Amino acid sequence: GSLRNKDPGPQPLELKQVFMLFQIQYNRSYSNPEEYARRLDIFARNLAHAQQLEAEDLGTAEFGVTPFSDLTEEEFGQLYGHQRMAGEAPSMGRKVGSEESGES
């Protein structure tokens, strides 16, 4: 119809285009096509998660593409958290001088 000839205006970027911009911005390259595909999949999931956080968040935070967008949550935790905390943290709440603490 008549709408067909109208300029549709700016279109949302395709996922691969967004991923390419991410690679350029954060200087990322992948060793083979399989790795690229895997990272693209992780990137897509993370973007979806960011959108979900935006929808749920009650604060003013904005979530989206970051330097960590091609990492799984587990990889992110391993690379940037402190892994020793993954196990049981030592008891820090014990009162000094209590029976539990033994010697001072």
Partner 1 sequence: LPSSCDWRRLKGIISPIRQQENCNCCWAMATAGNIEALWGIRYNQVVQVSVQELLDCGRCGDGCRGGFVWDAFITVLNNSGLASERDYPFQGDVKPHKCLAKKYKKVAWIQDFIMLQDNEKTIARYLATEGPITVTINMKLLQQYQKGVIKATPATCDPQAVDHSVLLVGFGRSKSVGGRRAEGGASQPHPRRSIPYWILKNSWGAEWGEEGYFRLHRGSNACGITKYPLTARVDLPVKKRPVSCPP
Residues in contact with partner 1 by the rule CB under 8 A:
46, 49-50, 53-54, 56-69, 71, 73, 76-86, 89-90, 92
Q: How close are the terminal C-alpha atoms of the chain, in Å?
A: 86
Residues 48-68 as b or e (16 or more Cβ within 10 Å = b): eebeeeeeeeeeeeebebeee
Give the residue with the Cβ less far from partner 1, 8 or 59. 59
Give the residue with the Cβ less far from partner 1, 3 or 61. 61
Please classify residue 23 by burial: count the beta carbons closer than 10 Å to its beta carbon, then call 0-12 exposed, 13-18 middle and 19+ buried: middle
Give min distance, CB of 85 to partner 1, in A.
Answer: 5
Gap between the Cα atoms of 86 and 73, Å rounded: 14
Give the residue with the Cβ less far from partner 1, 31 or 60. 60
Give min distance, CB of 96 to partner 1, in A.
Answer: 11
Give min distance, CB of 12 to partner 1, in A.
Answer: 15
